[in-house]
Amino acid sequence: MNRIKTDLLIIGAGSGGLSVAAGASQMGADVVLLEGHKMGGDCLNFGCVPSKALIATGKAAYGQRHSAEYGVANAAGEVDYAAAKDHVADVIAQIAPVDSQERFEGFGVNVIREYGRFISEDEVQAGDTVIKARRIVIATGSSPLVPPITGLDTTPYETNETLFNLREKPEHLLIIGGGPIGMEMAQAHIRMGCKVTVIEGDKALSKDDPELAAIVLQTLKDEGIEIAEGAQAAEIRGDVGAIEVEAKDGRVFKGSHLLVAVGRKANTDRLDLEKAGIEPIKNGIKVDDSLRTTNRKVYAIGDVAGGMQFTHVAGYHGGVVIRSLMFALPAKAKTAHIPWATYTDPELSQVGLTEAQAKEKHSDKLEVVRFHYNHNDRAIAERKTKGLIKVMVVKGRPVGASIVGYQAGELINLWALALANNMKMSQIASMVAPYPTIGEINKRAAGAYFSPRLFESDLVKTVVRLVQRFIP
Protein backbone atom coordinates (compact mmCIF):
# COMPACT_ATOMS: atom_id res chain seq x y z
CA MET A 1 0.00 0.00 0.00
CA ASN A 2 1.40 3.40 -1.06
CA ARG A 3 1.02 6.32 1.36
CA ILE A 4 0.99 10.01 0.46
CA LYS A 5 0.78 13.15 2.58
CA THR A 6 -0.51 16.31 0.97
CA ASP A 7 -1.83 19.80 1.72
CA LEU A 8 -5.00 19.34 -0.30
CA LEU A 9 -6.86 16.32 -1.64
CA ILE A 10 -9.62 16.82 -4.20
CA ILE A 11 -12.02 14.00 -4.98
CA GLY A 12 -13.49 14.46 -8.46
CA ALA A 13 -12.12 16.11 -11.61
CA GLY A 14 -15.22 17.90 -12.82
CA SER A 15 -15.69 21.65 -13.08
CA GLY A 16 -15.43 22.36 -9.35
CA GLY A 17 -12.59 19.98 -8.58
CA LEU A 18 -10.51 21.18 -11.51
CA SER A 19 -11.03 24.82 -10.52
CA VAL A 20 -9.73 24.16 -7.02
CA ALA A 21 -6.85 22.00 -8.25
CA ALA A 22 -5.66 24.59 -10.78
CA GLY A 23 -5.85 27.48 -8.33
CA ALA A 24 -4.35 25.73 -5.33
CA SER A 25 -1.45 24.14 -7.20
CA GLN A 26 -0.48 27.36 -8.96
CA MET A 27 -0.52 29.17 -5.62
CA GLY A 28 2.03 26.73 -4.24
CA ALA A 29 -0.02 24.10 -2.42
CA ASP A 30 0.75 20.39 -2.68
CA VAL A 31 -2.34 18.94 -4.40
CA VAL A 32 -3.59 15.42 -5.10
CA LEU A 33 -6.55 14.98 -7.45
CA LEU A 34 -8.59 11.76 -7.70
CA GLU A 35 -10.75 10.85 -10.68
CA GLY A 36 -12.04 7.33 -11.21
CA HIS A 37 -13.89 8.05 -14.46
CA LYS A 38 -13.30 10.78 -17.06
CA MET A 39 -11.39 14.02 -16.59
CA GLY A 40 -13.75 16.95 -17.03
CA GLY A 41 -16.61 15.19 -15.33
CA ASP A 42 -20.22 15.19 -16.44
CA CYS A 43 -20.24 18.63 -18.06
CA LEU A 44 -17.54 17.92 -20.61
CA ASN A 45 -18.38 14.31 -21.35
CA PHE A 46 -22.11 13.86 -20.86
CA GLY A 47 -23.76 17.20 -20.13
CA CYS A 48 -23.26 20.82 -21.06
CA VAL A 49 -20.78 20.37 -23.89
CA PRO A 50 -22.31 17.46 -25.85
CA SER A 51 -25.86 18.73 -25.38
CA LYS A 52 -25.02 22.17 -26.75
CA ALA A 53 -23.19 20.56 -29.66
CA LEU A 54 -26.27 18.49 -30.50
CA ILE A 55 -28.49 21.56 -30.11
CA ALA A 56 -26.24 23.30 -32.68
CA THR A 57 -26.89 20.46 -35.13
CA GLY A 58 -30.62 20.87 -34.62
CA LYS A 59 -30.40 24.61 -35.16
CA ALA A 60 -28.45 24.13 -38.39
CA ALA A 61 -31.05 21.70 -39.74
CA TYR A 62 -33.94 23.94 -38.68
CA GLY A 63 -32.25 26.96 -40.26
CA GLN A 64 -32.01 25.22 -43.62
CA ARG A 65 -35.69 24.33 -43.55
CA HIS A 66 -36.74 27.86 -42.54
CA SER A 67 -34.49 30.16 -44.57
CA ALA A 68 -37.05 31.51 -47.04
CA GLU A 69 -37.96 34.43 -44.78
CA TYR A 70 -34.40 35.69 -45.29
CA GLY A 71 -34.62 35.44 -49.07
CA VAL A 72 -32.82 32.09 -49.20
CA ALA A 73 -34.62 29.05 -50.61
CA ASN A 74 -35.62 26.46 -48.03
CA ALA A 75 -33.62 23.23 -48.14
CA ALA A 76 -34.38 19.73 -46.88
CA GLY A 77 -32.15 20.02 -43.81
CA GLU A 78 -31.57 16.27 -43.71
CA VAL A 79 -29.56 15.10 -40.71
CA ASP A 80 -27.06 12.25 -40.68
CA TYR A 81 -27.55 11.25 -37.05
CA ALA A 82 -24.28 9.33 -36.80
CA ALA A 83 -22.38 12.26 -38.33
CA ALA A 84 -24.08 14.58 -35.83
CA LYS A 85 -22.70 12.40 -33.03
CA ASP A 86 -19.27 12.63 -34.68
CA HIS A 87 -19.67 16.41 -34.45
CA VAL A 88 -20.48 16.05 -30.75
CA ALA A 89 -17.41 13.87 -30.18
CA ASP A 90 -15.21 16.36 -32.03
CA VAL A 91 -16.43 19.24 -29.88
CA ILE A 92 -15.65 17.25 -26.72
CA ALA A 93 -12.22 16.36 -28.10
CA GLN A 94 -11.39 20.01 -28.78
CA ILE A 95 -12.24 21.05 -25.23
CA ALA A 96 -10.83 17.96 -23.47
CA PRO A 97 -7.17 19.10 -23.38
CA VAL A 98 -8.15 21.96 -21.06
CA ASP A 99 -9.38 19.39 -18.53
CA SER A 100 -6.76 16.74 -19.25
CA GLN A 101 -4.57 14.86 -16.82
CA GLU A 102 -1.49 16.09 -18.65
CA ARG A 103 -2.45 19.76 -18.24
CA PHE A 104 -3.01 19.41 -14.51
CA GLU A 105 0.15 17.44 -14.01
CA GLY A 106 1.81 20.38 -15.72
CA PHE A 107 0.49 22.53 -12.88
CA GLY A 108 2.16 20.17 -10.43
CA VAL A 109 -0.99 18.29 -9.44
CA ASN A 110 -0.58 14.61 -8.55
CA VAL A 111 -3.44 13.08 -10.56
CA ILE A 112 -4.52 9.57 -9.52
CA ARG A 113 -7.07 7.88 -11.76
CA GLU A 114 -8.97 6.01 -9.08
CA TYR A 115 -12.15 6.50 -7.09
CA GLY A 116 -11.63 7.53 -3.50
CA ARG A 117 -13.25 6.44 -0.24
CA PHE A 118 -12.71 7.71 3.28
CA ILE A 119 -11.00 5.45 5.77
CA SER A 120 -10.67 8.08 8.52
CA GLU A 121 -11.35 11.77 9.12
CA ASP A 122 -8.34 12.85 7.06
CA GLU A 123 -7.45 9.78 5.01
CA VAL A 124 -8.81 8.56 1.69
CA GLN A 125 -7.97 5.32 -0.07
CA ALA A 126 -7.76 5.33 -3.87
CA GLY A 127 -6.84 1.95 -5.32
CA ASP A 128 -3.62 0.86 -3.64
CA THR A 129 -2.83 4.38 -2.39
CA VAL A 130 -3.78 6.02 0.91
CA ILE A 131 -3.70 9.82 0.93
CA LYS A 132 -3.53 11.73 4.22
CA ALA A 133 -4.49 15.37 3.68
CA ARG A 134 -4.64 18.54 5.76
CA ARG A 135 -7.77 19.56 3.85
CA ILE A 136 -10.08 17.60 1.54
CA VAL A 137 -12.55 18.84 -1.06
CA ILE A 138 -15.35 16.53 -2.25
CA ALA A 139 -16.30 17.44 -5.81
CA THR A 140 -17.84 14.20 -7.03
CA GLY A 141 -20.78 15.81 -8.84
CA SER A 142 -24.01 14.05 -9.70
CA SER A 143 -25.43 11.37 -11.97
CA PRO A 144 -28.77 10.88 -13.73
CA LEU A 145 -31.55 9.97 -11.32
CA VAL A 146 -33.25 6.76 -12.38
CA PRO A 147 -36.70 6.68 -10.77
CA PRO A 148 -38.27 3.45 -9.45
CA ILE A 149 -40.79 3.03 -12.27
CA THR A 150 -42.20 -0.43 -12.81
CA GLY A 151 -40.53 -2.11 -15.76
CA LEU A 152 -37.74 0.40 -16.19
CA ASP A 153 -35.13 -2.08 -14.97
CA THR A 154 -36.01 -4.49 -17.82
CA THR A 155 -36.57 -1.91 -20.56
CA PRO A 156 -33.71 -0.32 -22.53
CA TYR A 157 -33.43 3.42 -21.93
CA GLU A 158 -31.00 6.28 -22.37
CA THR A 159 -29.78 8.93 -19.94
CA ASN A 160 -27.55 11.90 -20.65
CA GLU A 161 -24.61 9.55 -19.98
CA THR A 162 -25.54 7.23 -22.86
CA LEU A 163 -27.57 9.34 -25.30
CA PHE A 164 -24.58 10.90 -27.00
CA ASN A 165 -23.19 7.47 -27.88
CA LEU A 166 -26.40 6.49 -29.69
CA ARG A 167 -25.64 6.23 -33.42
CA GLU A 168 -29.05 5.24 -34.79
CA LYS A 169 -31.56 8.07 -35.10
CA PRO A 170 -34.63 7.38 -32.97
CA GLU A 171 -37.82 7.23 -35.01
CA HIS A 172 -39.86 8.39 -32.03
CA LEU A 173 -38.08 9.51 -28.84
CA LEU A 174 -40.03 9.34 -25.60
CA ILE A 175 -38.61 11.62 -22.90
CA ILE A 176 -39.62 11.22 -19.26
CA GLY A 177 -38.99 14.61 -17.65
CA GLY A 178 -39.95 18.11 -18.74
CA GLY A 179 -37.07 20.00 -17.15
CA PRO A 180 -34.23 21.78 -18.97
CA ILE A 181 -32.43 18.60 -20.09
CA GLY A 182 -35.62 16.99 -21.35
CA MET A 183 -36.75 20.08 -23.24
CA GLU A 184 -33.37 20.83 -24.77
CA MET A 185 -33.04 17.27 -26.06
CA ALA A 186 -36.65 17.24 -27.22
CA GLN A 187 -36.13 20.26 -29.47
CA ALA A 188 -32.75 19.05 -30.73
CA HIS A 189 -34.27 15.73 -31.78
CA ILE A 190 -37.44 17.10 -33.37
CA ARG A 191 -35.21 19.34 -35.46
CA MET A 192 -33.07 16.37 -36.44
CA GLY A 193 -36.09 14.59 -37.86
CA CYS A 194 -37.33 12.47 -34.94
CA LYS A 195 -40.81 12.37 -33.51
CA VAL A 196 -40.70 13.44 -29.87
CA THR A 197 -43.05 13.07 -26.91
CA VAL A 198 -42.24 14.59 -23.50
CA ILE A 199 -43.92 12.96 -20.52
CA GLU A 200 -43.92 15.19 -17.43
CA GLY A 201 -45.51 14.27 -14.11
CA ASP A 202 -46.15 17.89 -13.11
CA LYS A 203 -45.61 21.00 -15.23
CA ALA A 204 -42.83 21.36 -17.79
CA LEU A 205 -40.12 23.95 -17.02
CA SER A 206 -41.77 24.43 -13.64
CA LYS A 207 -38.80 26.20 -12.00
CA ASP A 208 -38.96 29.17 -14.37
CA ASP A 209 -41.33 32.12 -14.64
CA PRO A 210 -44.58 30.54 -15.93
CA GLU A 211 -45.32 33.38 -18.36
CA LEU A 212 -41.92 33.04 -20.00
CA ALA A 213 -41.87 29.24 -19.84
CA ALA A 214 -45.21 29.21 -21.67
CA ILE A 215 -43.59 30.96 -24.64
CA VAL A 216 -40.93 28.25 -24.88
CA LEU A 217 -43.43 25.43 -24.48
CA GLN A 218 -45.75 26.81 -27.16
CA THR A 219 -42.78 27.11 -29.53
CA LEU A 220 -41.85 23.49 -28.91
CA LYS A 221 -45.44 22.40 -29.52
CA ASP A 222 -45.54 24.43 -32.73
CA GLU A 223 -42.43 22.57 -33.91
CA GLY A 224 -44.28 19.27 -33.42
CA ILE A 225 -43.27 18.10 -29.94
CA GLU A 226 -46.03 16.44 -27.95
CA ILE A 227 -45.83 17.64 -24.34
CA ALA A 228 -47.94 15.63 -21.91
CA GLU A 229 -48.13 17.35 -18.52
CA GLY A 230 -49.58 15.79 -15.39
CA ALA A 231 -48.53 12.40 -16.75
CA GLN A 232 -46.78 10.56 -13.94
CA ALA A 233 -45.06 7.52 -15.44
CA ALA A 234 -46.31 4.35 -13.73
CA GLU A 235 -45.13 1.50 -15.95
CA ILE A 236 -42.66 1.04 -18.79
CA ARG A 237 -42.46 -1.91 -21.14
CA GLY A 238 -41.11 -3.03 -24.48
CA ASP A 239 -37.81 -3.04 -26.33
CA VAL A 240 -35.90 -0.74 -28.67
CA GLY A 241 -38.23 0.10 -31.53
CA ALA A 242 -41.41 -0.51 -29.54
CA ILE A 243 -41.44 1.07 -26.07
CA GLU A 244 -44.54 2.05 -24.13
CA VAL A 245 -44.85 4.37 -21.14
CA GLU A 246 -48.12 4.15 -19.23
CA ALA A 247 -49.07 7.03 -16.97
CA LYS A 248 -50.95 6.74 -13.68
CA ASP A 249 -54.02 8.27 -15.32
CA GLY A 250 -54.08 5.53 -17.96
CA ARG A 251 -52.56 7.42 -20.86
CA VAL A 252 -50.16 5.31 -22.91
CA PHE A 253 -47.31 6.79 -24.96
CA LYS A 254 -45.61 4.72 -27.64
CA GLY A 255 -42.19 5.32 -29.18
CA SER A 256 -39.02 3.69 -30.42
CA HIS A 257 -36.51 4.95 -27.82
CA LEU A 258 -36.70 6.23 -24.25
CA LEU A 259 -34.71 9.01 -22.56
CA VAL A 260 -34.98 9.34 -18.79
CA ALA A 261 -34.35 12.96 -17.72
CA VAL A 262 -36.08 13.39 -14.38
CA GLY A 263 -33.25 14.97 -12.41
CA ARG A 264 -29.91 14.17 -10.80
CA LYS A 265 -28.60 12.48 -7.68
CA ALA A 266 -25.41 13.35 -5.84
CA ASN A 267 -22.48 10.96 -6.24
CA THR A 268 -21.81 9.92 -2.64
CA ASP A 269 -22.28 6.14 -2.68
CA ARG A 270 -18.57 5.30 -3.06
CA LEU A 271 -17.27 7.74 -0.44
CA ASP A 272 -17.95 5.95 2.89
CA LEU A 273 -18.78 9.34 4.41
CA GLU A 274 -19.57 7.94 7.84
CA LYS A 275 -15.94 6.91 8.34
CA ALA A 276 -14.97 10.58 8.10
CA GLY A 277 -17.79 11.89 10.29
CA ILE A 278 -19.47 13.58 7.33
CA GLU A 279 -23.24 13.91 7.49
CA PRO A 280 -25.15 13.20 4.29
CA ILE A 281 -28.49 14.74 3.36
CA LYS A 282 -31.17 13.62 0.90
CA ASN A 283 -29.65 15.46 -2.05
CA GLY A 284 -25.96 15.35 -1.19
CA ILE A 285 -23.76 16.36 1.72
CA LYS A 286 -24.61 18.75 4.54
CA VAL A 287 -22.50 21.92 4.34
CA ASP A 288 -22.50 25.31 6.04
CA ASP A 289 -22.32 28.69 4.31
CA SER A 290 -18.58 28.27 3.81
CA LEU A 291 -19.19 24.84 2.16
CA ARG A 292 -17.62 22.99 5.07
CA THR A 293 -19.07 19.60 5.96
CA THR A 294 -19.63 18.29 9.48
CA ASN A 295 -15.95 17.30 9.34
CA ARG A 296 -14.09 20.61 9.66
CA LYS A 297 -11.25 19.38 7.44
CA VAL A 298 -13.55 18.51 4.56
CA TYR A 299 -15.44 20.74 2.11
CA ALA A 300 -18.05 19.77 -0.48
CA ILE A 301 -18.65 21.78 -3.65
CA GLY A 302 -20.80 21.67 -6.76
CA ASP A 303 -23.72 19.28 -7.23
CA VAL A 304 -22.71 17.14 -4.26
CA ALA A 305 -23.14 20.12 -1.91
CA GLY A 306 -26.90 19.72 -2.18
CA GLY A 307 -27.84 23.04 -3.77
CA MET A 308 -28.12 24.39 -7.30
CA GLN A 309 -26.83 21.86 -9.82
CA PHE A 310 -25.02 23.86 -12.49
CA THR A 311 -21.48 23.69 -13.82
CA HIS A 312 -20.95 27.40 -13.19
CA VAL A 313 -22.05 26.96 -9.57
CA ALA A 314 -19.38 24.30 -9.10
CA GLY A 315 -16.79 26.69 -10.51
CA TYR A 316 -18.05 29.46 -8.23
CA HIS A 317 -17.88 27.13 -5.23
CA GLY A 318 -14.29 26.37 -6.18
CA GLY A 319 -13.44 30.04 -5.91
CA VAL A 320 -15.14 30.30 -2.53
CA VAL A 321 -13.24 27.41 -0.94
CA ILE A 322 -9.90 28.48 -2.44
CA ARG A 323 -10.09 31.60 -0.27
CA SER A 324 -10.51 29.47 2.85
CA LEU A 325 -8.06 26.74 1.86
CA MET A 326 -5.19 28.88 0.67
CA PHE A 327 -5.42 31.96 2.89
CA ALA A 328 -7.51 30.84 5.89
CA LEU A 329 -9.87 33.72 5.16
CA PRO A 330 -13.63 33.56 5.75
CA ALA A 331 -15.70 33.03 2.63
CA LYS A 332 -19.36 32.20 2.15
CA ALA A 333 -21.24 30.85 -0.84
CA LYS A 334 -24.32 32.82 -1.88
CA THR A 335 -27.07 32.02 -4.35
CA ALA A 336 -28.94 35.29 -5.01
CA HIS A 337 -26.66 36.24 -7.90
CA ILE A 338 -26.45 32.81 -9.56
CA PRO A 339 -28.01 32.75 -13.05
CA TRP A 340 -29.19 29.80 -15.09
CA ALA A 341 -30.29 29.25 -18.66
CA THR A 342 -32.20 26.67 -20.65
CA TYR A 343 -30.82 26.44 -24.19
CA THR A 344 -34.01 25.85 -26.09
CA ASP A 345 -34.88 28.15 -28.98
CA PRO A 346 -35.95 30.64 -27.73
CA GLU A 347 -33.64 30.49 -24.73
CA LEU A 348 -34.91 30.93 -21.19
CA SER A 349 -32.80 32.48 -18.42
CA GLN A 350 -33.16 33.63 -14.84
CA VAL A 351 -31.17 35.29 -12.08
CA GLY A 352 -32.37 36.26 -8.63
CA LEU A 353 -36.06 36.32 -7.83
CA THR A 354 -38.82 35.52 -10.28
CA GLU A 355 -41.82 37.84 -10.38
CA ALA A 356 -43.83 35.54 -8.10
CA GLN A 357 -40.97 35.20 -5.61
CA ALA A 358 -40.36 38.95 -5.60
CA LYS A 359 -44.05 39.69 -4.97
CA GLU A 360 -44.07 37.31 -2.03
CA LYS A 361 -40.90 38.75 -0.52
CA HIS A 362 -41.22 42.46 -1.27
CA SER A 363 -44.97 42.97 -1.63
CA ASP A 364 -45.90 46.60 -2.38
CA LYS A 365 -42.26 47.73 -2.74
CA LEU A 366 -41.85 45.79 -5.98
CA GLU A 367 -41.87 47.24 -9.47
CA VAL A 368 -41.73 44.94 -12.50
CA VAL A 369 -40.44 46.45 -15.73
CA ARG A 370 -40.86 44.74 -19.07
CA PHE A 371 -39.45 45.12 -22.54
CA HIS A 372 -40.36 43.02 -25.57
CA TYR A 373 -37.98 41.78 -28.25
CA ASN A 374 -40.25 43.05 -31.02
CA HIS A 375 -39.17 46.61 -30.13
CA ASN A 376 -35.47 45.80 -30.61
CA ASP A 377 -34.15 46.67 -34.08
CA ARG A 378 -31.54 43.90 -34.19
CA ALA A 379 -34.12 41.31 -33.19
CA ILE A 380 -36.35 42.56 -36.01
CA ALA A 381 -33.47 42.35 -38.51
CA GLU A 382 -32.64 38.80 -37.39
CA ARG A 383 -36.35 37.86 -37.30
CA LYS A 384 -35.95 36.87 -33.65
CA THR A 385 -38.76 38.97 -32.19
CA LYS A 386 -40.35 36.34 -29.96
CA GLY A 387 -39.55 37.07 -26.33
CA LEU A 388 -39.36 39.57 -23.51
CA ILE A 389 -37.42 40.56 -20.41
CA LYS A 390 -38.86 41.20 -16.97
CA VAL A 391 -36.79 42.89 -14.29
CA MET A 392 -37.92 42.90 -10.69
CA VAL A 393 -36.90 46.15 -8.97
CA VAL A 394 -37.04 47.18 -5.31
CA LYS A 395 -36.07 50.73 -4.32
CA GLY A 396 -34.15 51.31 -7.51
CA ARG A 397 -32.15 48.07 -7.44
CA PRO A 398 -32.84 44.90 -9.42
CA VAL A 399 -33.58 41.82 -7.32
CA GLY A 400 -34.23 39.48 -10.22
CA ALA A 401 -34.45 39.22 -13.98
CA SER A 402 -36.26 36.75 -16.23
CA ILE A 403 -35.64 36.59 -19.97
CA VAL A 404 -37.07 34.49 -22.77
CA GLY A 405 -35.86 34.99 -26.32
CA TYR A 406 -32.88 34.99 -28.64
CA GLN A 407 -29.57 34.97 -26.69
CA ALA A 408 -31.34 35.11 -23.33
CA GLY A 409 -28.45 33.15 -21.86
CA GLU A 410 -26.09 35.93 -22.91
CA LEU A 411 -28.35 38.79 -21.83
CA ILE A 412 -28.71 37.44 -18.28
CA ASN A 413 -25.00 38.03 -17.66
CA LEU A 414 -25.50 41.75 -17.12
CA TRP A 415 -28.19 41.18 -14.51
CA ALA A 416 -26.04 38.59 -12.74
CA LEU A 417 -23.32 41.24 -12.56
CA ALA A 418 -25.82 43.77 -11.22
CA LEU A 419 -27.08 41.46 -8.48
CA ALA A 420 -23.58 40.34 -7.52
CA ASN A 421 -22.52 43.96 -7.00
CA ASN A 422 -25.78 45.42 -5.65
CA MET A 423 -25.97 47.80 -8.60
CA LYS A 424 -28.72 50.33 -9.21
CA MET A 425 -30.99 50.57 -12.23
CA SER A 426 -29.45 53.98 -12.89
CA GLN A 427 -26.09 52.30 -13.48
CA ILE A 428 -27.63 49.96 -16.04
CA ALA A 429 -29.39 52.88 -17.71
CA SER A 430 -26.13 54.82 -17.97
CA MET A 431 -24.52 52.03 -20.02
CA VAL A 432 -24.12 52.84 -23.71
CA ALA A 433 -24.84 49.78 -25.86
CA PRO A 434 -23.70 49.61 -29.48
CA TYR A 435 -26.50 49.87 -32.03
CA PRO A 436 -28.01 47.64 -33.22
CA THR A 437 -27.46 44.82 -30.74
CA ILE A 438 -29.65 42.39 -28.86
CA GLY A 439 -27.89 43.70 -25.75
CA GLU A 440 -29.84 46.96 -26.08
CA ILE A 441 -32.77 45.04 -24.62
CA ASN A 442 -31.13 45.23 -21.21
CA LYS A 443 -30.63 48.99 -21.46
CA ARG A 444 -34.18 49.49 -22.70
CA ALA A 445 -35.48 47.50 -19.73
CA ALA A 446 -33.66 49.90 -17.44
CA GLY A 447 -35.09 52.77 -19.45
CA ALA A 448 -38.56 51.35 -18.96
CA TYR A 449 -38.01 51.73 -15.22
CA PHE A 450 -37.19 55.43 -15.50
CA SER A 451 -39.64 56.41 -18.27
CA PRO A 452 -42.66 56.95 -16.00
CA ARG A 453 -40.52 58.96 -13.62
CA LEU A 454 -39.37 61.28 -16.41
CA PHE A 455 -42.28 61.45 -18.80
CA GLU A 456 -45.29 61.05 -16.52
CA SER A 457 -44.16 63.19 -13.60
CA ASP A 458 -45.90 66.54 -13.10
CA LEU A 459 -42.92 67.72 -11.05
CA VAL A 460 -40.48 67.03 -13.88
CA LYS A 461 -42.74 68.82 -16.36
CA THR A 462 -43.05 71.82 -14.05
CA VAL A 463 -39.28 72.06 -13.59
CA VAL A 464 -38.67 71.81 -17.34
CA ARG A 465 -41.20 74.58 -18.05
CA LEU A 466 -39.58 76.85 -15.47
CA VAL A 467 -36.14 76.24 -16.91
CA GLN A 468 -37.34 76.92 -20.44
CA ARG A 469 -39.04 80.14 -19.34
CA PHE A 470 -36.33 81.72 -17.20
CA ILE A 471 -32.98 80.40 -18.47
CA PRO A 472 -31.79 82.37 -21.50
Is residue 142 marked as binding?
yes
The DSSP output letter for 169 is P
Q: Is residue 181 part of an annotated ligand binding site? A: yes
Closest by alpha carbon to 319, among 14, 19, 7? 19
Q: For the residues of 197-221, what is the DSSP string, one character each? A: EEE-SS-TTTTS-HHHHHHHHHHHH
284 appears as a binding residue in the annotation: no
Report CA 279 to chain centroid distance, whole Å.
26
289 belongs to an annotated ligand binding site = no
**Smallest Cα–Cα separation from 175: which of 164, 165, 160?**
160
CB 100 within 8 A of CB 106: no
177 assigned ligand-binding residue = yes
Of residues 145, 177, 151, 157, the one with CA closest to residue 234: 151
58 annotated ligand binder: no
Residue 363, marked binder: no
Q: Binding residue per annotation — 221?
A: no
Say if residue 185 carries a ligand binding annotation.
no
The per-residue DSSP string of 108-160 comes to: T-EEE-S--EESSSSEEEETTEEEEEEEEEE---EEE-----BTGGGS--B-T
52 annotated ligand-binding residue: yes
Q: Is 241 annotated as a binding residue?
A: no
Query: At a CB cut-off of 8 Å and minimum separation 6, what does 209 contact?
Result: 350, 354, 355, 356, 390, 402, 404
Ligand-binding annotation for 303, yes or no, is yes
Between the alpha carbon of residue 417 and those of residues 177, 392, 400, the distances in Å are 31, 15, 11
The reply to whether 263 sits in an annotated binding site is yes
Provide the residue count of the chain.
472
Please list, in sequence order, all residues whose beta carbon lies within 8 angstroms of the beta carbon of residue 260, skipping any fewer than 6 positions away. 144, 146, 147, 152, 157, 158, 159, 176, 177
Backbone angles phi, psi at 75, to 5 degrees: -120, 175
Binding site, annotated residues for NAD(+): 177-184, 200, 263
Binding site, annotated residues for FAD: 52, 116, 140-142, 303
Binding site, annotated residues: 52, 116, 140-142, 177-184, 200, 263, 303
